[in-house]
Amino acid sequence: MKIDLGNWQVAGNATCDCIPLAIEARGIVKRFDGFTAVDGIDITVPEGSIYGILGPNGAGKTTTLRMLLGIIDPDEGLRRVLGAERPHDVAHAIGYLPEERGLYPAMKAYEAIGFVGALRGLPLAEGCQRGRDLLDEHGLGFAADRQIRQLSKGMAQQVQLLGTLVHEPRLVVFDEPFSGLDAINQGRLERMIRALAEKGTTVIFSTHVIAHAERLCDEVAIIAGGKVPFAGPVDVARDRIRPQVRLETRENDGLWRKALPDDVRHEGNFWFFSLPESGVEPLLRALIEGEAGILSLSIERAGLHDAFVAIAGEAAAQALEDDKLEERK
């Protein structure tokens, strides 16, 4: 008999009230020409966390980030960033990588990094020296004196990313940072995000790719149609769906069948169903006492994709898939 309980017993890590917040937004609303792009959303981002805003293109992700950063103001609601009600007051402590990338093509790579740092208050000469150091650190030292126009697209994206970090911000905001990156550079960016969080930097990023959010994020806000039906720890989102049981038995009938829920699906000697609310122990007891002849039993928690479907709906989930297909073209 083989029993695999998977990771279904992992408890949600709900945010403790004692953890200081890097970002807090309450009831923020933004309208454009009568259209409500963001409709009263609440977001709290703990300091030092990796926080994802997950939703399809057009859901309101970029508008939300721009309001949090003070690029545009909400029509309603309150926001606080790094303790300040006016995001511009703490702009020097924020790094921002917009979805629309752009660098001056005539600048050298190290100069471009220093220039972006200067926009956040870092002395230009210091920023340029840090730019050289960062390029060396990330294997791009050979390109430090090349003009942006002479770099590949991937290299130019890395230069802009390093410019986002050159002034050592406390809060880093990425808008669709993985868009346009190949698999190798996506992996590098994921490692960089984890390294930032390990140093205590708060990272918030928007994405339409569930896999990035599931691998990286401590917490997520699921956004669809300008609303946030869920915001909180990834584990809590996944727990919206009961763990799934895969049971293999020697016997196909008996009193033990009464322990299986109504949603059971039977294929040969295998049974598939949601874990009963009473838990695994009563289920095992009924199977053993009823002589089901357990050959194998495994329990798996739902993934973030299934949670997204349950929370945001099939239409929003399909929109995510459509966005991924469009990006591959």
116 burial type by CB count under 10 A (0-12 exposed, 13-18 middle, 19+ buried): buried
Dihedral sign of CA atoms 84, 90, 93, 99 in order? positive
Q: Which residues contact 244 (CB under 8 A, 6 or more apart)?
A: 272, 273, 274, 275, 299, 300, 302
Quick one: average pLDDT of 276-283?
Answer: 89
Q: Residue 2 — pLDDT band, cuts 50, 70, 90?
A: low
Q: Is the pLDDT of residue 3 over 80?
A: no
pLDDT in tens, 102-146: 889 999 999 999 999 999 999 999 999 999 999 999 999 999 999
Question: Does residue 292 belong to any structural domain of this protein?
Answer: yes
Give a yes or no: residue 284 inside a domain: yes
Q: State the residue range of the domain holding 268.
A: 244-300
Sign of dihedral through CA atoms 284, 289, 291, 292? negative
What's the pLDDT at 4? 62
What are the pLDDT digits (tens) for 124-135? 999 999 999 999
From the DSSP assignment, how many helices (H) and strands (E) are in the chain? 10, 14
Question: Does residue 81 surpass a pLDDT of 50?
Answer: yes
286 half-sphere exposure, CB direction, 13 A CA radius: 16
- Output the six-digit token pair for 34: 């009568």
Grade residue 16 by pLDDT with cuts at 50, 70 and 90: very low
pLDDT of 7 strictly over 60: no
For the chain, the average pLDDT equals: 91
pLDDT at 9: 44
The total number of residues written for the chain in this structure: 329
Q: Judge whether 255 lies within some domain.
A: yes
Mean pLDDT of 155-166: 93
Residue 317's alpha-carbon distances to 43, 57, 131, 306, in angstroms, are 21, 11, 40, 9
Query: 48 in a domain, yes or no?
Result: no
On the question of pLDDT at 162 being above 90, the answer is yes
DSSP secondary structure code for residue 151 in this structure: S
Task: Give the chain's domain count.
Answer: 1
pLDDT at 83 over 70: yes
CA distance 152 to 183: 16
Domain membership of residue 274 (yes or no) is yes
| 262 part of a folded domain | yes
What are residue 169's DSSP bridge partners? none
Report the pLDDT averaged over residues 193-221.
96
Please give the pLDDT value at position 10. 38
Is 279 domain-assigned? Answer: yes
Residue 77 lies in a domain: no
Quick check: 150 pLDDT over 90?
yes
- Report the C-alpha gap between 55 and 60 in whole angstroms: 8
